Homo-oligomer: A and B are copies of this chain.
């Protein structure tokens, strides 16, 4: 039974925009949401996401494990605040150039980079009851670029969901390969299949799970190609000039 009911829709997460003005008026070092979120990120960076337990966190903060409950309603609300803070970095220093394809590429690659460093992030985003403030800001930038690309509202929405799914999926699959030896284990596993029943797998294996960044880049370009063609299907045929690899 969830307490449910009066959540209204003021996002429940208090985005607080990092807009200078007095982020936390307490003695420095005392608890407060920001300090807890900081400790969370530090702990995750230091020992991995699975080390983030309330007891460990309490230890790092010099407080009881349950002290966090004075500032967050649950662990998942805390993780939402953490994800929001991390995702805010995606747009740090981003300036739209007006070249829509370049801008979409840039934002997506930045988002992927953050997701790769914090693989536990994607599930938290998906589990949130409403889009995090930082996700909304990223989405707005992407919407804008896609509109500049010539897409209508409906296609913008669909294109955004495509980019979102691809980025989330790639990040969660690539996260596994952090050790990088997993990728080669998967590749070898395909390579060693019986060639009579798996002829294609054996042939393709050498190219499988090689460089995650290259593979992501390839997929992103495919998606951008398709979106470009969707916006401008009358593009001239370009006969004669060289094909692709």
Contacts and interface: CB of A to CB of B under 8 A. Distances in A.
A166 B164 contact: no
A170 B160 contact: no
A69 interface: no
A87 to B, nearest CB: 15
Identical copies of this chain, number: 2
A15 to B, nearest CB: 11
14 contacts: A123-B123, A126-B175, A139-B190, A143-B201, A144-B200, A147-B200, A153-B207, A165-B219, A223-B226, A225-B226, A226-B229, A230-B244, A233-B243, A235-B237
B144 A222 contact: no
Interface in A154-211: 154-162, 164-170, 172-173, 175-176, 182, 185-186, 188-190, 192-193, 197-198, 200-201, 203-204, 206-210
A126 B172 contact: yes
- If over half of A's interface residues share one DSSP class (helix, strand or loop), that class is named, otherwise mixed; here it is helix
B233 A161 contact: no
A222 B219 CA distance: 11
Interface residues of A, number: 77
Given A167-B169, A168-B169, A223-B226, 4 more contacts: A153-B206, A169-B172, A233-B244, A235-B237
A245 interface: yes
A51 interface: no
